[in-house]
Amino acid sequence: MTSTPSSAQPSHLFPPTRWSVVLAAQQTPSPAVDDALETLCRAYWQPLYVFVRRQGHSKEDAQDLVQGFFARLLQKQWLDDVAREKGRFRSFLLASLKHFLLNEWDRQRAQKRGGGQAPLPFDTAIAERQYQAEPDPGAAADRAFERRWALTLIERTLARLREEFAAAGKTREFDALKGFLTAEQGGLSYAAAAAQLDLNEVAARVAVHRLRRRFREHFRAEIAHTVARPEDVEAEVRHLMAALGD
| Model pLDDT for residues 158-194, shown as the tens digit of each residue | 999 999 999 999 999 999 999 999 877 667 899 999 9
**Residue whose C-alpha is closest to residue 70's, from 23, 119, 116:** 119
**Residue whose C-alpha is closest to residue 11's, from 78, 64, 87:** 87
Spell out the alpha helix ranges (H) of 25-83: 31-43, 46-54, 59-73
**Alpha-carbon torsion 138, 143, 144, 145, what sign?**
positive
C-beta of residue 47 within 8 angstroms of C-beta of residue 148:
yes
Partner residues linked to 227 by β-bridges: 88
Would the pLDDT of 237 be above 90? yes
| Model pLDDT for residues 144-161, shown as the tens digit of each residue | 999 999 999 999 999 999
Q: Average pLDDT for residues 67-71, to the nearest whole number?
A: 85
**pLDDT for the residue numbered 125:** 81
Radius of gyration of the chain (CA): 20
Q: Average pLDDT for residues 118-143, to the nearest whole number?
A: 79
Distance CA 97, CA 148 (A): 15
C-beta of residue 141 within 8 angstroms of C-beta of residue 55:
yes
CA 207 to chain centre: 26
DSSP 168: T
3-state secondary structure of 88: strand
Would the pLDDT of 86 be above 70? no
Q: How confident is the model at residue 29 (pLDDT cuts 50, 70, 90)?
A: low
C-beta of residue 181 within 8 angstroms of C-beta of residue 211:
yes
Global confidence as pTM: 0.79
Q: Which helix (H) or strand (E) holds 149?
A: helix 141-167
Distance CA 31, CA 223 (A): 23
Q: How confident is the model at residue 8 (pLDDT cuts 50, 70, 90)?
A: very low
Q: How confident is the model at residue 13 (pLDDT cuts 50, 70, 90)?
A: very low
What lies within 8 Å, CB to CB, of 154 at 6+ separation is 219
Distance CA 67, CA 72 (A): 9
Residue 186, CA distances (Å) to 2, 81, 191 in order: 28, 46, 12
C-beta of residue 243 within 8 angstroms of C-beta of residue 143:
yes
Q: Average pLDDT for residues 221-234, to the nearest whole number?
A: 90
Q: Average pLDDT for residues 120-126, to the nearest whole number?
A: 75
C-beta of residue 227 within 8 angstroms of C-beta of residue 233:
yes
**pLDDT for the residue numbered 194:** 95
